[in-house]
Amino acid sequence: MALSDERIRQLLEMQMSRWERLEKWLSKHQIKRFTAEQLADSLGEPVSEASAMIQSYLGAQRREGSAAVYHLRREGRTRAASWYVGDRMADVRATGGTLLKDMTTKAKHAYALDLKHIAARNPRARPYVEAKIEAVLAGALVVLQQAVDFYGDEEDED
């Protein structure tokens, strides 16, 4: 019994990795912005699978000698995240902005809260904790922002 062309396509897709399936989808749809929910709806997959495909693509694009054709970058966090396809200077700046937002969120919602938890249990540590939080929030994050913004006036179309 011979296999139909459709069945052959299905079998080949089953052999594709998650990132390759996403790349195929991006190539087919030629879009510049999408969400995990839109990807899931388009493919008829659960959102968790769409998210796994995106994470797989990010891993592929970050590998040395990557074969990934596109570059993905995120704006927003968690389920509200939008994914953009692009490699212009504007994408470089936006990626830096996302890094700064991620680091600020992590510092405020994890680092600072963890240290405050220690200070609540160990009053002797409180001055040290407050100094550390201030150093990170008012020091290190300012340095990171300056680094991210350093080349902010470059051309947008390269």
Cβ atoms within 10 Å, residue 64: 4
Instruction: Name the burial class of residue 23, with classes exposed (0-12), middle (13-18) and buried (19+) by CB atoms within 10 angstroms of its CB.
Output: buried
CA-based torsion, 25, 30, 36, 40: positive or negative? negative
Domain boundaries 5-85, corresponding CATH code: 1.10.10
Cβ atoms within 10 Å, residue 29: 13
Q: Model confidence over 72-130: pLDDT tens digits? A: 988 887 778 999 998 777 777 777 778 888 888 888 888 889 999 999 999 999 999 99
pLDDT of residue 110: 87
Query: Where exactly are the structural domains of the chain?
Result: 5-85, 89-149
Residue with the bigger pLDDT between 40 and 156: it is 40
Q: For residue 157, how far is the Cα from the chain centroid? A: 22
Please state the rounded mean pLDDT for residues 119-148: 88
